[in-house]
């Protein structure tokens, strides 16, 4: 009987990880030791695991640097159009393994560290997640950067280098507690400070109007210091740049009135300026109108536009000579994509630069601005739309308020000319909301100042045109497009699920990693016994690994043969974690009378300022406390709240999932990308016809998803008729039992009234109609259970889902952005590596 392969030897056989040539391994070992000794100044005898991680990171980074420099030289030689993706969030996660995957170094590095007596996974676990985002928006931006590099686009990601990213979450006595995410405390080997490109950003002040133009005087200056991170494409030798700005106080900050006491205070006050890049705002899908947030938004926009204009003007790589001054060519060389309304200030700022500094006429400047900028909308929830008070604008950005007023005046003139006498439309379409406190509607500013406006799933884009932006669509229908979101298959398949990637590659080759549409050819294997067996085996291995992780980190013993029913997303009423809670309680109650399949249900995190979400977390943990400790149930039902969920934990959880919960109220989820990650990794979806679920059902076949609940039209009809939760409560005994248990303290015996607030909300103030979909959801869960008892038929549906994932590659999304919005053409051509002769 042959000896089973070690984990190390199994990895060596996975071809998608790259080849481990002897020369490569020898060179990597030499460079590793060199960095350990000379870069980190450490001896092997005293080096820690973190030192070894840094030595490995620098070794891998060496392979990036030459490609990075050559890529920039290539762009300056070719002078292509460049796209600038501006986002307040980039949820990058870890960089080491992703870089090894994209440079085909994974097996070589694994072998080198093995020969050095080190464990690769242990070193990878030393890396901090770069959690500079809240959830979908920031992770989408990260996937887009990967795809733009892999498609050979001259692209730059611009954002803020937050000192503290998304908070670290602890669960203490069932409650969420937040801790600061000091992700930079040990340093970041992947970034390079670029002080030579530091830029001044002006706040406050006042405007002076002169015959030769407008001047902004008496401003407070904050310096923007750029840090560059290399973004490698997939095995094409392209390395693009993500540039994140850090706020620095100038040397003379508040030192105008010098005396010793004043000097000390002035130096301490430097923190006020540098607070701009101190912390990521943690609220997702919720607008918080704080001055610091508006400062952050203008800070990133001002610094970025100065960089864009500088790069537009200069002639060649490394040069500072101005060679291009005709701004009419700007839209031919520059595309600016606004990731939601957070960077909306780019529009008035570009107008300020063109009119006040470059002295262009307003009409010409406006034409350039509109043709350069494009806007992606990410939500239809009214509480998430940015509406800044005019008073705050006047105080912080006085010149920009004047520009916004002028944009609005001319915009309303165009509206009035097209729709004479329609004062209601003028009011609805104004950039300035009157009545009470005057506010600037940033979404309206983005639409008016952009040549393209897109939603992020077809249903979302249709809703924007039919309701939220109906007036704007009727006036300028040519602006509105759809760009369904996507995910990078490099991180979300090859990296996080190499076993599945290899099983696929054995059947159809490795080209699917660059062209995910090739997964369609897996349909011919849907009845192939060996393929069905291989897919099921990989899933079970991933579940075993995740079970071990859960037991180690959450102290809960999991039955790896149970169905892993996972809902991991930000806690929000519209995502309806409460519907899932009701299902778990009902399932728990049914265990007394029925034989049910074993079930494991993990959840994830909330925002710190969001009271209802914190109460939902407490309910989940309370249900877990009862269910997980019930000796009658044993390991047949477990409820786990995944503490401190982030990209790295997602990379463990998603490959292990059997069932993906995508159960938002129809018409509320713009797209979702977690749904795509689960689908690609072999989970089946239970979900409503919302966001990208609709297109997933189209691609995989609706019969291969578990679709339930109201459609958008049904929700609208229920709104017209009136939603009465009590009617469902009185009609459905199982629902009534679950609600009574929550309200009566069954899950909180020491505090019987703990969840009265949640029950009151569900019974009387539930905008998202949990009870209306409960009955259909429970029936759908019964179908899930029935199919799960037939592993072969379950796995066939899994294969159909994986085969239908091609559309959901971010490569497809970015190709559409490039061709239909940016006026650029992607390419799969490789550029020469640094050691190749040109």
Let me know how long the chain is: 838
Which residues lie closer than 8 Å to 120 by C-beta, 6 or more apart? 109, 110, 113, 114
Residues 481/461, Cβ–Cβ less than 8 Å: yes
Tell me the sheet residues that pair with 244. 159, 227
Q: Can you point out the beta strands (E) in 351-472?
A: 373-376, 387-389, 432-433, 439-441, 452-455
CA distance 561 to 550: 14
Residues 87/342, Cβ–Cβ less than 8 Å: yes
Rounded CA Rg of the chain: 27
Q: Can you point out the beta strands (E) in 147-282?
A: 155-160, 168-172, 175-179, 192-193, 199-203, 206-210, 213-217, 220-232, 239-248
Question: 699 to each of 65, 677, 802, how far by Cα in Å?
Answer: 40, 15, 10
Residues 567/612, Cβ–Cβ less than 8 Å: no
Residues 499/542, Cβ–Cβ less than 8 Å: yes
CA distance 598 to 442: 48
The DSSP call for residue 164 is: B
Residue from 665, 668, 686, 692 nearest 772 by CA:
665
Residues 684/660, Cβ–Cβ less than 8 Å: yes
CA distance 259 to 368: 48
Residue 72, classed as helix, strand or coil, is helix
Classify strands 387-389 and 439-441 as parallel, antiparallel or unpaired: antiparallel
Residues 106/97, Cβ–Cβ less than 8 Å: yes
CA distance 195 to 218: 25
Residue from 698, 699, 723 nearest 710 by CA:
723
Classify strands 239-248 and 155-160 as parallel, antiparallel or unpaired: parallel
**How open is the CA angle 282-225-84, to the nearest 5 degrees?**
70
Residue 296, classed as helix, strand or coil, is helix
> Active-site residue numbers?
378, 569-570, 575, 673, 677
Residue 187, classed as helix, strand or coil, is coil
Residue from 346, 355, 345 nearest 209 by CA:
355
């Amino acid at each position: 009987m042959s000896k089973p392969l070690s984990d190390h030897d199994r990895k060596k056989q996975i071809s998608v990880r790259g080849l481990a040539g002897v020369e490569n391994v020898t060179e990597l070992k030499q460079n590793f030791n060199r960095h350990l000794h000379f870069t980190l100044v450490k001896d092997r005898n005293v080096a820690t695991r973190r030192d070894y991680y840094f030595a490995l990171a620098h070794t891998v980074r060496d392979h990036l640097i030459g490609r990075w420099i050559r890529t920039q030289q290539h762009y300056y030689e070719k002078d292509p159009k460049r796209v600038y993706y501006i986002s307040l969030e980039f949820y990058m996660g870890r960089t080491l393994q992703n870089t090894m995957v994209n440079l085909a170094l994974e097996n070589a590095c694994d072998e080198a560290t093995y020969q050095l007596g080190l464990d690769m996974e242990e070193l990878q676990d030393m890396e901090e997640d770069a959690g500079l985002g809240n959830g979908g928006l920031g992770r989408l931006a990260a996937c887009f950067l990967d795809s733009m590099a892999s498609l050979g686009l001259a692209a730059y990601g611009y954002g803020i280098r937050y000192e503290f990213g998304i908070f670290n979450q602890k669960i203490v006595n069932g409650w969420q507690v937040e801790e600061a995410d000091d992700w930079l405390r040990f340093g970041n080997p992947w970034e390079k400070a670029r002080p030579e490109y530091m830029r001044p950003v002006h706040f406050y002040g006042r405007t002076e109007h002169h015959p030769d133009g407008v001047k902004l005087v008496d401003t407070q200056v904050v310096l923007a210091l750029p840090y560059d991170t290399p973004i490698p494409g997939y095995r094409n030798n392209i390395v693009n740049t993500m540039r994140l700005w850090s706020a620095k106080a100038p040397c003379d900050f508040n030192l105008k009135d010098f005396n010793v006491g004043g000097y000390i205070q002035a130096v301490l006050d430097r923190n006020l300026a540098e607070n701009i890049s101190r912390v990521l705002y943690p609220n997702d899908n919720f607008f918080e109108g704080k001055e610091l947030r508006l400062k952050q938004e203008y800070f990133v926009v001002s610094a970025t536009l100065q960089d864009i204009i500088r790069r537009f003007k200069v002639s060649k790589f490394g040069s500072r000579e101005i060679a291009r001054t005709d701004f009419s060519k700007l839209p031919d060389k520059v595309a600016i994509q606004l990731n939601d309304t957070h960077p909306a200030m780019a529009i008035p700022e570009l107008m300020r630069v063109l009119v006040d500094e470059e002295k262009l006429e307003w009409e010409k400047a406006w034409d350039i601005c509109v043709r350069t900028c494009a806007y992606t909308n990410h939500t239809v929830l009214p509480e998430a739309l940015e509406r800044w008070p005019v008073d705050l604008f006047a105080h912080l950005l006085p010149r920009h308020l004047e520009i916004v007023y002028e944009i609005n005046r001319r915009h309303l003139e165009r509206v009035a000319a097209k729709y004479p006498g329609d004062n209601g439309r003028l009011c609805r379409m104004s950039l300035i909301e009157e009545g009470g406190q005057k506010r600037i509607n940033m979404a309206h500013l983005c639409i008016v100042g952009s040549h393209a406006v897109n939603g992020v799933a077809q249903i979302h884009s249709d809703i924007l045109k039919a309701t939220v932006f109906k007036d704007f669509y009727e006036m300028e229908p040519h602006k509105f497009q759809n760009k369904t979101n996507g995910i990078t298959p490099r991180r979300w398949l090859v990296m996080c699920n190499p076993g599945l990637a290899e099983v696929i590659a054995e059947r159809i080759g490795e080209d699917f990693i660059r062209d995910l549409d090739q997964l369609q050819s897996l349909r011919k294997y849907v009845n192939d016994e060996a393929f069905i067996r291989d897919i099921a085996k990989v899933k079970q291995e991933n579940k075993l690994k995740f079970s071990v992780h859960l037991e180690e980190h959450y102290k809960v013993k999991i039955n790896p043969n149970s169905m892993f029913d996972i809902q991991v997303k930000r806690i929000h009423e519209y995502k309806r974690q409460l519907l899932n809670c009701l299902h778990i309680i009902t399932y728990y109650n049914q265990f007394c009378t029925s034989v049910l399949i074993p079930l494991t249900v993990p959840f994830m995190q909330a925002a710190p300022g969001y009271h209802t979400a914190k109460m939902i977390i407490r309910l989940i943990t309370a249900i877990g406390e009862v269910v997980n400790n019930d000796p009658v149930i044993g390991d047949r039902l477990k409820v786990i709240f995944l503490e401190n969920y982030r990209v790295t934990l997602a990379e463990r959880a998603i490959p292990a999932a059997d069932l993906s919960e995508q159960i938002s109220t129809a018409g509320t989820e713009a797209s979702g990308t977690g749904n795509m990650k689960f689908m690609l990794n072999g989970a089946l979806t239970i979900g409503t016809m919302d966001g990208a679920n609709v297109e997933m059902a189209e691609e995989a076949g609706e019969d291969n998803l578990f679709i339930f609940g109201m459609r958008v039209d049904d929700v609208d009809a229920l709104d017209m008729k009136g939603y009465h939760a009590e009617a469902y409560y009185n009609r459905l005994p199982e629902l009534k039992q679950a609600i009574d248990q929550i309200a009566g303290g069954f899950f909180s015996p020491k505090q019987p009234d703990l969840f009265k607030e949640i029950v009151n909300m569900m019974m009387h103030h539930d905008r998202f109609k949990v009870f209306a979909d409960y009955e259909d959801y429970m029936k759908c869960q019964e179908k899930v259970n029935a199919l799960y008892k037939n592993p072969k038929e379950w796995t066939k549906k899994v294969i159909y889902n994986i085969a239908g994932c091609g559309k959901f590659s971010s490569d497809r999304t970015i190709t559409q952005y490039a061709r239909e919005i940016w006026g650029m053409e992607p390419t799969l051509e490789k550029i020469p590596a640094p050691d190749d002769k040109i």
